[in-house]
Chain A
Amino acid sequence: MDLTDGALIESFRRTKDPSHFKALVQRYQGRIYNAAFRILGNSEEAEEVVQDTFVKVHQNMPKFQRQSSFSSWVFRIAHNHCVDLLRARQRRSGFSLLSYDPQAAPADDESAEGSLGVVSQLADSGPSPAQALDFKEQEAVIEASLKELPDTQRAVVVLHDIEGLSYQEISEIVGANLGTVRSRLHYGRLKLRQLLEPYFAHQDVSPAPR
């Protein structure tokens, strides 16, 4: 029977046996990588996130408090690293890629996040939603739509709808209250609906086997 996260952590703290830490890496590396890849849209950066996340997990293992779940803790470290990379990316790209998006009507603070963001042109340069025919193209359309979201909304959408974390867990991971998480998820999905509308109009999306 697999040990729980808490039991693995306790054993590793007590015995310093690397196999316990290894078990934690094996358990979470896939989820961390997938989430980081969906948030960042870049495999190399996602790999860097996984690497650095577990380095920090190991370094800060003595500080880990059992009150919070290990899952939330490790995702919080990974999310923080994603945020750092996104900020660095924005600094590198400078303000040239920052543009005002008139389509995003600022209904409130959260929706306003969409009005000034890095507007990638992937949706225009790649296949349009209406032209997506096969699943690879479907995937590309969805990925492109995800990239259109503001970073904060995309992170919450990925953590909830792809990783299946609860609002409370996401609140702890991103450091926002539940209302903010709820709001970011709502407006993130709303924008995805708008972006995918042409795609939905042409064909139903049949969920692919995971």
Chain B
Amino acid sequence: MSASESDCNKFELLLDALRDGELSSDERRAVEQHAASCLRCQGQLADIERVVATLRALPRVKPPRDFSQDLDKLIAPRPRAKVVSLRPLIWGSLGAAAVAAVAVVAFKLTPGFGPTNAVAVREGSDTKEQRLHEGTPLQRQETTTAVAHYSDNAGPQQAVPLEHGSLQPGSVVATAPGDVQQAPQPPADDVAASHPEHKLPAGAQPGKTEKMPQTNDQAETKSPDKVPQQSGPGRTLSGRTAVAEAYDDDPFAGGAAVVALASGDQTGITEEIGLETDEDGLYAIKM
């Protein structure tokens, strides 16, 4: 293909717009410059002109009647067409999709069905609490959930682990002891000072996670509904808490990893840990 033919192909599409005066100034200049020395494009322009002239030669077809004489028909309100609601179909589809999603998640979370990549806070926290009470290493749990809450003053790396008994509103729960102990800890006083309502339990040592003693109410702690009863009064976190930490050297097996809990207003922190969960407080974390 010669350079001229290449140019013709490039400008062919623009010849119509050139004829119609619909090119930008740059385009028009380029096409005109080419067409001035190209007989083929000049012929094309002539053909376009002839087609347009032919179309414009068509007589205008007049409407068979004057619609303005029947104005009542045009402006009279028309009965609305019957609307067939698709709502049942839509909700049915959504329901089926939800069931399928739940089935997939349940399959993923079922032990023995491979590593878990998604962890529901509520379900995971139940397991976690049990582990804390039993002092069982968490590494064996494929579906283990690590939950950590940080106060505003504590950066993402500054976990403030609390001890058993502090599993209550405002507390910080660390289920990965190794990680928590490695994290730099702000002085408890600082935390308390910045959040007067954020009270550490008596005897709690920041930066250290104690094993939870076996108690008679261990069975109760397995029940999410029972745990809030352990919470002391006034132990609520205020301010914003947002945590999302993942550690590459996550000790949790199977690739299941970390959980982030994020709450805008801190209401229901204990619920988010797995005790109660409302619509806004449930976060499923995918790793």
Which A residues contact B (CB, under 8 angstroms)?
18, 21-22, 25-26, 29-30, 33-34, 37-38, 43, 46-47, 50-51, 54-55, 58-59, 138-139, 142-143, 146, 157, 160-162, 166-167, 182-183, 185-186, 189, 192-193, 196, 200, 205-208, 210
Contact = CB atoms under 8 A, between A and B. Distances in A.
Interface string B42-55: 00000110111111
16 contacts: A30-B60, A30-B63, A38-B61, A47-B65, A55-B73, A55-B75, A55-B78, A59-B78, A139-B58, A157-B55, A182-B13, A183-B13, A196-B51, A200-B50, A205-B54, A210-B59
Contacts of B87: none
Given A142-B58, A161-B56, A50 B63 contact: yes
Given A25-B67, A183-B13, A189-B16, A38 B58 contact: yes
A172 B50 CA distance: 27
Given A58-B75, A167-B17, A210-B59, 13 more contacts: A38-B61, A54-B67, A55-B74, A142-B54, A167-B20, A183-B13, A186-B16, A186-B17, A189-B16, A189-B52, A196-B51, A196-B54, A205-B54
A183 B66 CA distance: 36
Given A189-B48, A205-B50, A208-B59, A43 B64 contact: yes
Contacts of A142: 54-55, 57-58
Contacts of B78: 55, 59
Contacts of B67: 25, 29, 50-51, 54
A29 B48 contact: no
The 9 closest A-B pairs by CB, nearest first: A207-B57, A33-B63, A25-B68, A161-B55, A54-B74, A186-B16, A22-B68, A37-B61, A26-B68
Main SS of the interface on chain A?
Answer: helix
A182 B16 contact: yes
B22 interface: yes
Contacts of B39: none
B82 interface: no
B56 A210 contact: yes
B65 to A, nearest CB: 8
Contact of A166 (B12, B22, B64): B22
**B15, B17, B58 pick with most chain A CB within 10 angstroms:** B58
Interface of B: 12-13, 15-17, 20, 22, 47-48, 50-68, 71, 73-75, 78
Contacts of B57: 138, 142, 205-208
A58 B71 CA distance: 10
A165 to B, nearest CB: 11
Nearest to B63: A33
A130 to B, nearest CB: 15
A29 B54 contact: no
Interface of B is mostly: helix
Contacts, number: 114
Given A143-B58, A160-B20, A161-B55, A47 B64 contact: yes
A21 to B, nearest CB: 6
Nearest to A52: B74
A18 B64 contact: no
Contacts of A21: 71, 74-75
Among B12, B52, B71, B75, the most chain A Cβ lie within 10 Å of the Cβ of B75
A152 to B, nearest CB: 16
Contacts of A157: 55
Given A26-B68, A142-B58, A186-B13, A205 B75 contact: no
B75 A18 contact: yes
Residue among B47, B54, B60, B62 with most chain A CB within 10 A:
B54
B69 to A, nearest CB: 9
B85 to A, nearest CB: 22
Nearest to A18: B71
Given A21-B71, A160-B20, A34 B51 contact: no
B74 to A, nearest CB: 5
A26 to B, nearest CB: 5
Contact of B51 (A22, A43, A189): A189
B53 A51 contact: no
Contact of A205 (B16, B53, B59, B64): B53
